Amino acid sequence: MPSPAVLTAHDLHFAHDGRDVLHGVSVALRSGTVTAVAGPNGAGKSTLVELLAGVRSPRRGVVTCRGSLALVVQRPAVPDTLPVTVHDVVAMGTWSRRRRLRPTAGAVAAAIDRVGLAGLADRPLASLSGGQRQRALLAQGIVQRADVLLLDEPAAGLDSRSRERTRAVLAEEAARGAAVACVTHDDTSIEQADVVVRLEDGRVL
Task: Spell 103-120 as b/e; 16+ CB within 10 A means b.
Answer: beeebbbebbebbbbeeb
1-68+183-205 under CATH 3.90.730.10, yes or no: no
**Quick check: 127 and 82 in contact, CB under 8 A?**
no
Domain boundaries, the chain: 1-68+183-205
Band of pLDDT at residue 1, cut at 50, 70 and 90 = low
Give pLDDT tens digits for 37-94. Answer: 999 998 999 999 999 999 999 999 999 999 999 999 876 666 767 789 999 999 988 7
pTM for the whole thing? 0.91
CB neighbours (10 Å) of residue 162?
19
Q: Which residues contact 123 (CB under 8 A, 6 or more apart)?
A: 85, 86
Give pLDDT tens digits for 117-148. Answer: 999 999 998 888 888 999 999 999 999 899 99
Sheet with 148-152, strands from edge to edge, namely 69-72, 148-152, 179-183, 33-38, 195-200, 203-204
Judge whether residue 100 has pLDDT over 60: no
